[in-house]
Structure 1
Amino acid sequence: MSLIAELRRRNVIRMAGLYLVAAWLITQVAGTVLPMFGAPDWVPRTVVIVLAIGFVPALAFAWIFELTPDGIKRDEEVPLEKSIAPQTAQRMNRMIIAMLMLALIYFGLDKFVLAPRRAAADVATVAADAGRSPASSNAASGASAAPIPAISSKSIAVLPFENLSEDKANGYFADGIQDQILTGLAKIGDLKVISRTSTQQYASRPDNLSHIANELGVAHILEGSVQRDGNKVRINVQLIDAATDNHVWAEIYDRTLNDIFAVQSEVAEEIAKQLAANISRGEQEALAEIPTKVPAAYDAYLKARALNSRVLQTRQQADETLAAYREAVRLDPDFSLAWAQIARESFRVGWIGLDPSGKLRMEGEHALARTTELAPGSVHTEIARGVHMYYVKRDFAGALAVMDSLKARLPNDADIWMWAGYLSRRLGKFDQSDANFGRARELSPNDANIAYHHGVTLVVMGDCERGVRELDAAAALSPNNTHALAMKLQCAWAEGDFPRATAYLAAADSSSPAVKGLVGTHLFLQRDYKAAITQLQVAIAGSGDTLIDASMNGYLPARIEWQLNLAFGQRLAGAEAQAVANYRQVKAEATRALAAKPDNRYVETAWHCVLGMALAGLGERDAAAAQGKLAVSLVPESADQLEGPGWVVYQARIHAMNGDAANAVPLLRHLMQTPAAVLSAQNLRSEPYWDSLRDDPGFQALVAKKGTR
């Protein structure tokens, strides 16, 4: 009898399979359960070692002994005709099948139930550490700094790479190499990697590495330089221990553009080795991916990425970026990553109202279909799909599910956590939004946009103290951020603290038309109509199409709402003719905009609110109420719990302008119980728009409420 046949007869092979499946299952369960009971780290390791040591004895036992009706006997003692090895084999087969089923059940339970809960718990722990990054704590005026968590030895920031090429126009290429290496590192879940947004403000070779590392909350810094000469590239990287300034590792890579991608994986793997970080098999496969085999296409892609890093303010900027991405896919029609970027950028442009015709949306959907065809299920394709669900379909729940599923694959991508923060608050999951933004802030402590939106989430949760601290951090990182200033004013006004609001405005850039508009609004709320009229007129004349999130939820130029406030103030100041003229002008602009049929439903909603207020100002009560009703039907609270309440505030304002307490007061009562409305009893006491309701008993009961909400 051959050795293999004898191994089968003695059930040694089955014993090996059964042992391995059982050992894997025991290891997985131990790794999940033991930490719950505070077991030391050595306990799960000991379990693995014991199971590994026991493998060979288990096989030896199966070879030497056989199970018989009379108990366990040595194999040579059992006559072949009395052996029940075949029956034992069948029982072992059933046991293997049962163990495999248990393993599959555990795998599904861990992936879809336990892992999300562990991630949520980790994020909640991070978010609970107020002031966990120096950027947020230092920006808080007069706020006490919370203790900063210990810095992990497996944490790293990649500083901008120095461009040593003779052609200084190759700066975008050096930035791109830095971005690609950082992207590779970010795929390793056992590392903490700071986002590119938070490192770009630093020099390539700064003197104060320890200070920078402390600001970013990392133990190591990666510096580098890039020198390009035609198709040849030299990349020099140095890993530095920030606390000691010692060089942990350094390497020079001489490559051509054809094999440039190998550098990303080699650098990432070497850094992981130096920092004793584990790389999973899936992460190794992700690092080995090559996005394109056409060097010129990759060069065009890097140019687009450099353009994409700008703050998007105009359609011209968007067109320049998209043109570079289009060139990349022209040179390589199979460049899936570039197609995904075209999709994301096209959808983003439409979301902020810079694609009224919807042509870019259609281009984006074509690009999404192409990247899905080329790389279905890839990270970049899934991100583009999630962005499409968010920005185009307005399927917030579906988009959130996509972003949440990507957290394990891109654990260090601040944008994934940021998008999850955006989406969860639209679903009314404000605590979850707070946690997601908290994690994004940890990964990108110098990102003004993340700090700002974290602040917004906290404000709509009713936590103005923490919210203003984050808004201050955003303003410190981006001093001209009038969005943050406007949101801070919302808190001060809701709390009736007009001196604090005045102080906020006094510290801002008084030459900015946006600040002038906010000053005018502040004077309007204080009923200093003469001064308010002057300020608002100046602001309207000079602001152009400046957007402020606190005005029409940021979908229309702020001057539109300022002009409505101006008209209302003029009426209260006795300048009726000027008020009517302004209402007519706003009515005409809103009517034209709606006739053009905006592709963005939120923009359309905003224009209906504007038209309703203009009509109410002109005494067209029924038409005004109809516009308000239409506005809230387009974006109801049930569909968007972040911005939906804001449209209801405008609807209530229209009813109040109509003198319709019967319809206005129930809405206000509801809004007072809706945090995202940011409407307080103090707002009702001070705002002139509610004056027509002051004799209504229901309104008086609302105004009499104590507290800010």
Structure 2
Amino acid sequence: MSFIEELKRRKVFRVAASYAVVAFIIMQLVEIVFPIFDFPQWTSQFVIILVLIGFPISVILSWVFDRTPQGYIKTDSKKDLDKEPDTKSKESGSFLKNKKNWLLVAGVIAGILIGRFGQTSTSAKNIINEKSIAVLPFDNLGNDEDDEYFADGMTEDILTELSKIKDLLVISRTTIMKYKNSNKSLKEIGKELGVANILEGSIRRIGQRVRITGQLINAINDQHLWGEKYDRDIEDIFAVQDEVANAIANALRIELSDEEAQRISSSQTESVEAYDLYIKARSLAYTYEISKYPLAIKYYKDAINVDPNYALPYAGIARVRMSQFYFQYMDTKLANMALEEAKEYAEKAVLLGPNEAETHFALGFYHNAIAEYDMAFISFKKAIFLNPSHAHAHDEIADVYVYKYGDFKKAIPWYNKALKRDPALVVSKWFQVELYLRMGRVKEALSMVDAVIKDHPNVIGVVTLKYLALMMDGQFQEANGFILNQFSKYKSESRLLEYYQAVGLSFISLNQIDKLDEILQKIDEVPFSNRTHHKDYLMLMMKYNQGLYRDVIKGFELLDNTDMAIDNIGRRRALSDVFYYWRAKSFLELGEYDNALRETFRFRSSNNHITSSYVLDEFWPKHFYLKGLAYEGLGDKNNAQQSYKEFLEVWNEADENHPELVDAKKRLRRLGWNS
């Protein structure tokens, strides 16, 4: 008798298969049930080890013993089989006729079903990174309400220290501040933010003493992971921040590299006074209220006077000055001064703090504004290296792809990375919506902007995009009704020129030209309106609507050669393309195909920059369509066909119902293209 036959005779194969099926079911149940009851990880490991140890034991026992009608006996001779003449006949035959084999099959199926159920029921947990954390705003327990900024500053600085740990995903300040004084449970907050752990605490500042408490909680199961109370002199505040960061890394079993440990332990200043002034300034800057910027800059400069080698206040000044440059660009004197000072302070910040993410971010922010995109990219990448959870740096890298290359597909993943680190970073949502509109994906953009506007109802950029999405979708009446209800928001943000342009364009689309005169008069009342495009653009669009194409052609060329106030040369160039588009359309209406074709060759080489706050550049892809019309009008069928194909390729993700897409496909078929 061969060894294999002997194994069969002693039923070793059957026992091994049965054991494997049962073990499979046990391990599936362990994977599902143990997390539900929050059993420690070692318990599931212990069960699996026992199951694995049991396998060779069961195989050995099956070799040695056999179950018979007389009970378990030692199978050591052929003679034992002769006593059971019926056993072999009963167990012989086909696989399917044996009931025990059916039980094995049922066991395998049961194990698979349990495993599938387990995957479904635990999928929500599995997508949460165990090495992720949100630092909730620390409660200010001091008697002085003015110390609120100190508690918020402590929150952000602990968050910043944790962000230096590469393996830890840290949710940014913008998002966590909305949970200040929140009544939501830690489980709810953790689920909303997609984090596994939450740090909460309080701070009491009395004279030169400070008491800080903190506790780290697992947001999935409410398990207390770490807690500590610090009662120190105010001068020890930096040491406490370092200790908290190191303790959390230990609690989450994250091994810090030497470089990470050094960055955490390094302090930008030893002066508590300078630090106090810095976080006061930072709290004012974070309001993004233009009226508070001068006081923020004063506090930053006071901090520098106390400690001239403190890098972060320099970075703070650079960022505030860049905000002034962007938001107050029509005040040329202020804008020029702000840009010069931003450069000076950003470069000084990097010199003093080469290992601080904020200094490199501030310098990158400046380079982005003056279209030095390669330098900006280098600065933002350095910021991310120093602080992997720096959401805004991820957002700005996306901007580089949009501003320089017009590469929307590379930009969108970077915006998503930014939102993973800071779900409330509205600018990443705002820019994504614009990109979707410019790709022609209007239905998706409408859905996205509706979600964004619920969370950010007062952000003008988002409000404008909602109006633009409705206009692009052909919902002119809805767009008009929507924008007319937004006057107070635009007024409070000093963005009335943008508002009146939107209202005027919606009136034109509804052919309510009689209402336009009042809008044009109101534009004249807005400061600096004589230095912008808004009034002329509306007047020329009205003339196009009236069929006055010669006036449109002449007017847009004059407007393009006007010295307009605009915050960025890239956006100015994109605005020119809008003018060329309407000139080309006007030439086509007049049958001047040569002139129309000439206009289409004036467009920039890529669909770059962000444009919605001026005129949304939905027109760049369409210039290929206009080029096709011009070639077709000239009788050049080959080039017409090629231009229409380019248009379909550039707008290959656009909604199918765009009139230009429908017409381009129809014309291609007529020209003999069947693809």
Query: TM (normalized to structure 1)?
Result: 0.61
What is the SS of the residue equivalent to 2:180? coil
Distance 1:497 1:450, change over 3 A: same
Partner residue, 1:23: none
Q: Distance in 2 between matches of 1:616 and 1:317?
A: 45
Q: Distance in 2 between matches of 1:187 and 1:284?
A: 9
Partner residue, 2:618: 678
The residue type paired with residue 139 of structure 2 is E
The residue type paired with residue 393 of structure 2 is I
Q: Distance in 1 between matches of 2:227 and 2:635?
A: 72
Which of residues 212, 220, 240 in structure 1 aligns to 2:197? 220
Distance 1:567 1:325, change over 3 A: same
Identity %: 25
Partner residue, 2:460: 482
Q: Contact between 1:234 and 1:253, CA under 8 Å: does it hold in 2? A: yes
Shift of 1:539: 6.0
Q: Distance in 2 between matches of 1:389 and 1:198?
A: 26
Partner residue, 1:419: 396
Partner residue, 1:257: 234
Partner residue, 2:250: 273
Q: Distance in 2 between matches of 1:374 and 1:625?
A: 44
Distance 1:524 1:377, change over 3 A: same
Partner residue, 2:78: none
- 1:329 maps to 2:313: no
Q: Distance in 2 between matches of 1:484 and 1:156?
A: 29
Q: Contact between 2:536 and 2:559, CA under 8 Å: does it hold in 1? A: no
What is the SS of the residue equivalent to 1:706? helix
Deviations 1:35-88 (A, max 9, x none): xxxxxxxxxxxxxxxxxxxxxxxxxxxxxxxxxxxxxxxxxxxxxxxxxxxxxx
| Equivalences, count | 500
Which of residues 401, 404, 409 in structure 1 aligns to 2:381? 404
The residue type paired with residue 563 of structure 1 is K
Shift of 1:573: 9.3
Q: Distance in 1 between matches of 2:557 and 2:357?
A: 51
Deviations 1:233-269 (A, max 9, x none): 1111121222333432211111222121112111111
Partner residue, 1:648: 577
Which of residues 403, 408, 414 in structure 2 aligns to 1:430? 408
- 1:375 maps to 2:353: yes
Larger deviation: 253-262 or 294-303? 253-262
Q: Cα RMSD between the aligned structures?
A: 4.3
Q: Contact between 1:472 and 1:484, CA under 8 Å: does it hold in 2? A: no
What is the SS of the residue equivalent to 2:248? helix
Q: Contact between 1:533 and 1:569, CA under 8 Å: does it hold in 2? A: no
Partner residue, 1:40: none
Shift of 1:346: 2.0
Which of residues 356, 381, 389 in structure 1 aligns to 2:332? 356
- 1:387 maps to 2:319: no
What is the SS of the residue equivalent to 1:201? helix
The residue type paired with residue 230 of structure 1 is G
Shift of 1:384: 2.8
Distance 1:482 1:224, change over 3 A: same
Q: Distance in 2 between matches of 1:184 and 1:648?
A: 46
Deviations 1:362-403 (A, max 9, x none): 3333323433443345433322332232224x2112211221
The residue type paired with residue 486 of structure 1 is T
What is the SS of the residue equivalent to 2:401? helix
Shift of 1:467: 3.5
- 1:293 maps to 2:248: no
Q: Distance in 2 between matches of 1:425 and 1:286?
A: 32
The residue type paired with residue 422 of structure 1 is D
Partner residue, 1:522: 506
The residue type paired with residue 452 of structure 1 is W
Residues 541-690 of structure 1 mapped to structure 2, 5 A cutoff: 544=526, 560-568=532-540, 626-627=561-562, 635=569, 640=570, 644-653=573-582, 662-668=594-600, 675=607, 677-679=617-619
Q: Contact between 1:671 and 1:679, CA under 8 Å: does it hold in 2? A: no
Shift of 1:516: 6.1
Q: Contact between 2:384 and 2:394, CA under 8 Å: does it hold in 1? A: yes
Q: Distance in 2 between matches of 1:518 and 1:241?
A: 48
Q: Contact between 1:343 and 1:384, CA under 8 Å: does it hold in 2? A: yes
- 1:472 maps to 2:477: no
Q: Contact between 2:523 and 2:529, CA under 8 Å: does it hold in 1? A: no
Q: Contact between 1:458 and 1:466, CA under 8 Å: does it hold in 2? A: yes
Q: Distance in 2 between matches of 1:418 and 1:664?
A: 38
What is the SS of the residue equivalent to 1:387? helix
Deviations 1:196-236 (A, max 9, x none): 10011113463422222111111221111111112211111
What is the SS of the residue equivalent to 1:189? coil
Distance 1:705 1:201, change over 3 A: closer
Partner residue, 1:460: 438
Distance 1:539 1:147, change over 3 A: farther
Residues 54-453 of structure 1 mapped to structure 2, 5 A cutoff: 150-204=127-181, 206-312=183-289, 314=290, 316-354=291-329, 356-357=332-333, 358-376=336-354, 378-392=356-370, 394-428=371-405, 429-453=407-431
Partner residue, 1:75: none
Larger deviation: 452-461 or 230-239? 452-461
The residue type paired with residue 219 of structure 1 is A
Residues 8-47 of structure 1 mapped to structure 2, 5 A cutoff: none
Shift of 1:185: 1.0
Q: Distance in 2 between matches of 1:653 and 1:231?
A: 67
Q: Distance in 1 between matches of 2:489 and 2:391?
A: 34
Q: Contact between 1:188 and 1:283, CA under 8 Å: does it hold in 2? A: yes
Q: Contact between 2:580 and 2:600, CA under 8 Å: does it hold in 1? A: no
Q: Distance in 2 between matches of 1:362 and 1:530?
A: 46
The residue type paired with residue 172 of structure 1 is Y
Q: Distance in 2 between matches of 1:297 and 1:511?
A: 37
Q: Distance in 1 between matches of 2:444 and 2:214?
A: 39
Larger deviation: 282-291 or 246-255? 246-255
Q: Distance in 2 between matches of 1:274 and 1:231?
A: 30
Q: Contact between 2:531 and 2:565, CA under 8 Å: does it hold in 1? A: no
Q: Contact between 2:356 and 2:386, CA under 8 Å: does it hold in 1? A: no
- Larger RCO (CA within 8 A; separation ≥ 6): 1
The residue type paired with residue 364 of structure 1 is A
Q: Contact between 1:184 and 1:287, CA under 8 Å: does it hold in 2? A: yes
Q: Distance in 2 between matches of 1:506 and 1:351?
A: 26
Distance 1:519 1:183, change over 3 A: same
Q: Contact between 1:236 and 1:250, CA under 8 Å: does it hold in 2? A: yes
Shift of 1:499: 5.8
Gaps spanning 5+ residues in structure 1: where? Answer: 1-145, 546-555, 577-612, 688-692
Q: Contact between 2:356 and 2:383, CA under 8 Å: does it hold in 1? A: no
Distance 1:202 1:263, change over 3 A: same
What is the SS of the residue equivalent to 1:407? helix
Q: Distance in 1 between matches of 2:212 and 2:235?
A: 14
Shift of 1:342: 1.7
Q: Contact between 2:476 and 2:509, CA under 8 Å: does it hold in 1? A: no
Larger deviation: 469-478 or 669-678? 669-678
What is the SS of the residue equivalent to 1:251? strand
Q: Contact between 1:371 and 1:381, CA under 8 Å: does it hold in 2? A: yes
Q: Contact between 1:414 and 1:440, CA under 8 Å: does it hold in 2? A: yes
Q: Distance in 2 between matches of 1:360 and 1:672?
A: 29
Q: Contact between 2:357 and 2:384, CA under 8 Å: does it hold in 1? A: no
Distance 1:198 1:699, change over 3 A: farther
Distance 1:260 1:493, change over 3 A: same
The residue type paired with residue 325 of structure 1 is Y
Distance 1:228 1:527, change over 3 A: same
Query: TM (normalized to structure 2)?
Result: 0.64
Distance 1:673 1:403, change over 3 A: closer
